[in-house]
């Protein structure tokens, strides 16, 4: 529903339509609500003592964020990274709306879609190539999945 | 050297008034313990001294300088949290060095200081480990190490032993006492609800109730001369017996206070004895507690070793005169005999 007004806005600005910058912005904006929701609740759940301890240790707010909060958020960041990556990787709609259809601007899902037309009869090629495209998401998942394991906070406070 | 002086300190959260006109002088090098029941404001008071809670009104001085608005890191204090609050993603070494790193000290100086503290607290073999690979006692030592390494003038402890098991608690208590002996010039403020910790560690104890100071004194002063019925009932285990009515009137007061250890269980009535029936006995081996149901409520007596009385026995309780406390209708202590 939001695609049409957004596209109109892009076309009105001129420099955002049919560019990579435009689709980056669109995907980022669509991902933000989830990111904020996830990270806020995760950060709010960090033990307050840790932050206070860092304050007493003389770290300023920025340093507390950088050295304490950010490293401890890694599991949440990793989960979000996987979700967002999968969403963007699988996306076809946003891509065909905001990107051109030129050879250099066609995303992978667009290309797969294209196969349907050019090799309509050859389903085995289509399914095989779709299967091959899951290699990248799998790589991302296995690279980040160890951060899913809970217990990064273990040892900091009681019962940990 | 660091005195701490609190003048009419108040703290409220909205309409909830937590600390009410708290005035207190903590002398340099003193081991001060705050005790009180849950929710009495003792932790809030400690956090106000630390700077983690803003002060609503009143004045806080450390080392003769007003520090109401000074951030925690600039107050020359170190705090040991109840939960230890170790940084879980950093090794023991990094945990201890974090404060020094924030001060911008050169790397080799940091290394020297951290290693010295590690040696002092027997943490040297664990410096490369993460907190999750340490036992409760070791984590506690790391938390204390973080405080020591900064060379703070004031140490604040917020119930540091409450997460340890009984045996480790006794051991760590001794370590803290030793730490204080090794650092005679460091002022230490310690919050606990455990009166054994308070009695054994403190130079002076502050008893708090509902955000007010009830009494300040050495452990023995509080034990021997409690200023009011609250302190009388709070310090000492089992609790002091507070008896109102005829026995109190006999010695011209509203409430008579006598500790279980100063009550004698006798077979025959005489002047001033209180009659009752034994409700329950607890035999601990070294001593026994005898709970006696009387006209003035349940009274606890303590006897050395095993006791001969049994449940249901009719007994008389005799107070040793020298150890009877007298309180007036406001619960204030009446001095003299």
Q: What's the pLDDT score for residue B171?
A: 87
Q: What are phi and psi of B197, to 5 degrees?
A: -60, -45
Looking at residue A89, the DSSP 8-state letter turns out to be H
Q: What is the pLDDT of residues B226-277, one digit of tens each?
A: 999 999 988 888 889 998 888 888 888 888 899 999 988 888 888 778 889 9
Q: Give the closest-approach CA distance of A59 to chain B in angstroms.
A: 6
| Residue B34 pLDDT class (50, 70, 90 cuts) | very high
SS (H, E, C) chain B: CCCEEEEEEEEEECCEEEEEEEEEEECCCCEEEEECCCCCCHHHHHHHHHCCCCCCEEEEEECCEECCCCCHHHCCEEEECCCCCCCCCCCHHHHHHHHHHHHCCCHHHHHHHHHHHHHHCCCHHHCCCCHHHCCHHHHHHHHHHHHHHCCCCEEEEECCCCCCCHHHHHHHHHHHHHHHHHCCCCEEEEECCCHHHHHHHCCEEEEEECCEEEEEECHHHHHHCCCEHHHHHHCCCCCCEEEECHHHHHCCCCEEEECHHHEEEECCCCCCCEEEEEEEEEECCCEEEEEEEECCEEEEEEEECCCCCCCCCEEEEEECHHHEEEECCCCEEECCC
Closest by CA position to B248, among listed B208, B212, B295: B295
Q: Is B70 on the interface with A (CB under 8 A)?
A: no
Mean pLDDT for the stretch of residues B44-49: 91
Q: How far is A142 from chain B (nearest CA, A)?
A: 22
Percent of chain B scored above 70 by pLDDT?
99
The verdict on a CB contact (< 8 Å) between B146 and A57 is yes
Q: Is the pLDDT of residue A122 over 80?
A: no
Query: 3-class SS at A22?
Result: helix
Other CB atoms within 10 Å distance of the CB of residue B57: 12
Contact A158 B102 (CB under 8 A): no
Contacts A76 to B, Cβ<8 Å: none
Report the alpha-carbon distance of residue A118 to residue B297 in Å, rounded.
96
User: Hey, are the CB atoms on B81 and A55 less than 8 Å from each other?
Assistant: no
B104 shares contact with chain A (CB less than 8 Å): no
Average pLDDT over residues A105-124: 76
pLDDT in tens, B79-114: 998 888 899 889 999 999 999 998 889 999 999 999
DSSP B276-311: EEEEEEEE-SSEEEEEEEETTEEEEEEEESS----T
* Contacts with B80 from chain A: Cβ below 8 Å: none
Among A107, A114, A39, A24, smallest CA distance to A70 is for A39
Closest A-chain CA to B51: A56
What pLDDT score was predicted for residue A140?
Answer: 86
Q: Quick check: helix, strand or coil at residue A151? A: coil
Largest Cα separation within chain B, whole Å, is 77
> What secondary structure does DSSP assign to B176-190, as a single string?
HHHHHHH-TT-EEEE
Residue-level pLDDT at A13 = 84
The CA distance from B108 to B124, in Å, is: 17
What is the C-alpha to C-alpha distance for residues B292 and B332, in angstroms, rounded to an integer?
A: 26
Contacts of B154 in chain A (CB under 8 A): none
| pLDDT on residue A119 | 61
Which residue of chain A comes nearest to B80, CA vs CA? Answer: A53
At residue A105, the pLDDT reads: 78
DSSP state of A156: T
- Tell me what pLDDT residue A160 has: 41
B14 touches chain A (CB under 8 A): no
Report whether pLDDT(A111) > 60: yes
Is the pLDDT at A158 greater than 70, yes or no? no
- Residue B110 pLDDT: 93
Contact list, B74 vs chain A (CB under 8 Å): 58
Task: Determine the distance in angstroms separating the CA of A47 from the nearest CA of chain B, rounded to an integer.
Answer: 8
Residues above pLDDT 90, as percent of chain B: 32
Give the tens place of pLDDT for each residue, B284-295: 888 899 999 998
A151 — pLDDT class (breaks 50, 70, 90) = very low
Q: Which residues of A touch B (CB under 8 A)?
A: 47, 49-50, 52-59, 63, 67-68, 71-72, 151-158, 160
Cβ–Cβ below 8 Å for B131 and A54: no
Q: How far is A140 from chain B (nearest CA, A)?
A: 23
Between these two residues, B185 and B321, which has the higher pLDDT value?
B185
Contacting residues of A for B165, CB less than 8 Å apart:
none
CA–CA gap between residue B288 and residue B306 (Å, rounded): 6
pLDDT tens digits for A36-48? 998 898 899 888 8
Side-by-side strand order, sheet with B241-244 = B241-244, B255-258, B324-327, B333-334
Q: Which of B193, B217, B185 is nearest to B204 (CA)?
A: B217
B150 at interface of A, judged by CB pairs closer than 8 A: yes
Among residues B140, B17, B122, B134, the alpha carbon closest in space to that of B83 is found at B140
- Name the band, by pLDDT with cuts 50, 70 and 90, for residue A159: very low
Q: Tell me the nearest-neighbour CA distance from B54 into chain A, angstroms.
A: 13
Gap between the Cα atoms of A65 and B93, Å rounded: 20
Quote the distance between the C-alpha of residue B326 and its chain's center.
25
- A2 CA to centre of own chain: 19
Contact B81 A53 (CB under 8 A): yes
The mean pLDDT value of chain B amounts to 89
């Amino acid at each position: 529903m939001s695609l049409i007004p957004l596209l109109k806005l892009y076309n009105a600005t001129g420099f955002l339509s049919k560019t990579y910058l435009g689709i980056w912005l669109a995907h980022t904006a669509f991902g933000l609500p989830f990111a904020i929701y996830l990270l806020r609740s995760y950060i709010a759940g960090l033990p307050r003592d840790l932050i206070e301890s860092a304050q007493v240790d003389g770290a300023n707010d920025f340093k507390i964020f950088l050295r304490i909060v950010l490293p401890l958020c890694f599991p949440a960041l990793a989960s979000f990274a996987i979700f967002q990556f999968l969403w963007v990787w699988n996306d076809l709609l946003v891509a065909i709306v905001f990107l051109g259809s030129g050879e250099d601007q066609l995303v992978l899902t667009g290309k797969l879609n294209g196969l349907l037309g050019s090799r309509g009869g050859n389903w085995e090629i289509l399914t095989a190539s779709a299967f091959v495209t899951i290699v990248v998401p799998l790589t991302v998942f296995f690279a980040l999945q160890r951060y899913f394991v809970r217990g990064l906070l273990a040892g900091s406070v009681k019962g940990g | 050297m660091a005195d701490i002086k609190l003048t009419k300190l108040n703290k409220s959260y909205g309409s909830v008034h937590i600390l009410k006109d708290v005035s207190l002088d903590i002398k340099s090098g003193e081991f001060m313990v705050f005790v009180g029941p849950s929710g009495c404001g003792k932790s809030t008071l400690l956090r106000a001294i630390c700077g983690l809670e803003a002060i609503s009104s009143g004045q806080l001085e450390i080392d003769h300088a007003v520090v109401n608005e000074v951030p925690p890191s600039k107050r020359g204090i170190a705090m040991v949290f109840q939960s230890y609050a170790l940084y879980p993603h950093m090794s023991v070494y990094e945990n201890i060095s974090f404060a020094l790193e924030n001060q911008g000290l050169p790397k080799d100086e940091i290394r020297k200081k951290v290693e010295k503290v590690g040696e002092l607290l027997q943490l040297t073999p664990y410096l490369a480990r993460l907190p999750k690979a340490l036992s409760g006692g070791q984590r506690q030592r790391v938390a204390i190490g973080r405080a020591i390494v900064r060379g703070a003038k004031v140490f604040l402890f917020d119930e540091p032993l409450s997460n340890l098991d009984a045996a480790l608690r006794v051991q760590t208590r001794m370590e803290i006492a030793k730490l204080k002996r090794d650092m005679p010039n460091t002022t230490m403020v310690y919050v606990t609800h455990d009166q054994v910790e308070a009695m054994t560690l403190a130079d002076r104890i502050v008893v708090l109730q509902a955000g007010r100071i009830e009494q300040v004194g050495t452990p023995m002063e509080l034990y021997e001369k409690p200023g009011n019925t609250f302190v009388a009932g709070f310090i000492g285990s089992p609790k002091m017996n507070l008896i109102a009515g005829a026995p109190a009137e006999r010695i011209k007061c509203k409430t008579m206070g006598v500790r279980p250890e100063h009550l004698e269980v006798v077979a025959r009535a005489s002047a001033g004895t209180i009659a009752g029936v034994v409700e329950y006995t607890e035999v601990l081996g070294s001593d026994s507690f005898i709970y006696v149901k009387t006209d003035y409520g349940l009274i606890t007596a303590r006897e050395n070793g095993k006791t001969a009385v049994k449940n249901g026995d009719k007994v008389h309780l005799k107070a040793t005169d020298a150890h009877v406390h007298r309180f007036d209708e406001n619960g204030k202590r009446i001095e003299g005999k």
